[in-house]
Structure 1
Amino acid sequence: MHFCLGSLNPVKKEALVQVLEESGRFSSIHVSCENAPSGVPDQPRGFESTLTGARNRAKAVWHNGLFLGIGIESGIIPVPLTRTGYMNLTACVLYNGQDYFTGLGPAFELPTEISRLVTEKGLELDAAVQAAGFSHNPRIGYDKGLIGILTGNAVTRMEYTKPAIHMALASLP
């Protein structure tokens, strides 16, 4: 079966391939990637913006002959009763040409300075991580991710992304 991911991010692709293989639902798997527009800011803020970005990416890459178009989007969402008021969340949306199937992954609270740089200064997460001195890597989202830094690689961005994909697949008939 042919799947297309609406991102060129190799971490997202590897997470997707691993989940599709682990699921045991598909006899053959071919995953291609396209740079699909999310239609939302580079750093989505809010639940709706994050889900919209994933939906837009999934729909943009779906075409006849394709089993599923897939969008994966991480964004920061307001969460009451947290220290900073914001958490990072990943959403995965599958699109089959008619219906959307949505899954969410776990969330984690951003460090105070990174949260401030994203919410008050409008920086994208990679830039905020760099500006706050957490990493010199300009594309931390294409590597271990902020979660990898915060957990000492106990959880990497790839592992953090997989639950959202699993949850989206769970709603697929």
Structure 2
Amino acid sequence: MVVVGSTNPAKLAPVRLVFAEVFPGLEVHGVEVPSGVPEQPIGYEETLLGAQNRAKAALAQPGATWGLGLEAGVEFNALGAWLFNVAVILRADGRWGVARGGSVLLPPAVAERVRAGEELGQVMDDLVGQKGTKRGVGAVGILTLSRLERVEFWRHTLELALPPFLRPELYPQGMMGL
């Protein structure tokens, strides 16, 4: 059984799509687990840690053979603030995969509010006058006029975390663990 450390439909849907194609027959369930990082992780290290914590907590659930942690973060550089995501896939046999997905430049007014400590989902809800956008199209869908929605944004990242499971001969068991 695949357990995802979230009940967010925009995170569960891509896991179901990818696993149905690559590992058919596995059930996918979501559970609420703590990320152990702020609600809006800042920087790669904090975002990766949140995804790792979610994956470990998911794998610890009864009956889980796979644990997945999906975490969206924001990082700042000279060009502005960037939304990106990280997927961590853990398997009960000790194998793991991790990937950082694409990124999108946030509008300056959004970046300013996130830098001040607000969570991106709430800022995007305010921007478009809707509630719960992070459980749907997400910031990426809002910014791209739904040319790329959150489900596809996550799907891309999940696909990039799969090589250790698709080509295990290239990824030794002795790799540093997560």
Using structure 2 for the length normalisation, give the TM-score: 0.86
1:167 aligned residue (160, 163, 166): 160
Amino-acid identity (%):
30
After superposition, what is the alpha-carbon deviation per residue over 1:121-155, rounded to whole angstroms, capped at 9, x for unaligned? 20000122234x2x122321101111111111111
Q: 1:102 — aligned with what?
A: 98
Q: Could you tell me whether the CA contact under 8 Å between 2:58 and 2:64 is conserved in 1?
A: no
After superposition, what is the alpha-carbon deviation per residue over 1:52-98, rounded to whole angstroms, capped at 9, x for unaligned? 00000000111364221000000002344x2x2x2111110011243
Deviation at residue 35 of structure 1 after TM alignment: 0.2
User: d(CA) in 1 for partners of 2:108 and 2:164?
Assistant: 35
1:1-173 superposed matches below 5 A: 2-23=1-22, 26-63=23-60, 65-80=63-78, 82=79, 84=80, 86-97=81-92, 98-119=94-115, 121-131=116-126, 133=127, 135-172=128-165, 173=168
User: d(CA) in 1 for partners of 2:120 and 2:58?
Assistant: 25
Using structure 1 for the length normalisation, give the TM-score: 0.88
Deviation at residue 171 of structure 1 after TM alignment: 2.5
User: d(CA) in 2 for partners of 1:158 and 1:42?
Assistant: 20
Deviation at residue 99 of structure 1 after TM alignment: 4.5
Q: Could you tell me whether the CA contact under 8 Å between 2:86 and 2:99 is conserved in 1?
A: yes
SS in 2 for 1:171: helix
User: d(CA) in 1 for partners of 2:157 and 2:83?
Assistant: 13
Q: Could you tell me whether the CA contact under 8 Å between 2:75 and 2:83 is conserved in 1?
A: yes
Q: Could you tell me whether the CA contact under 8 Å between 2:138 and 2:149 is conserved in 1?
A: yes
Spell out structure 1 runs of 4+ moving beyond 4 A.
none
How many residues get paired?
164
SS in 2 for 1:45: coil
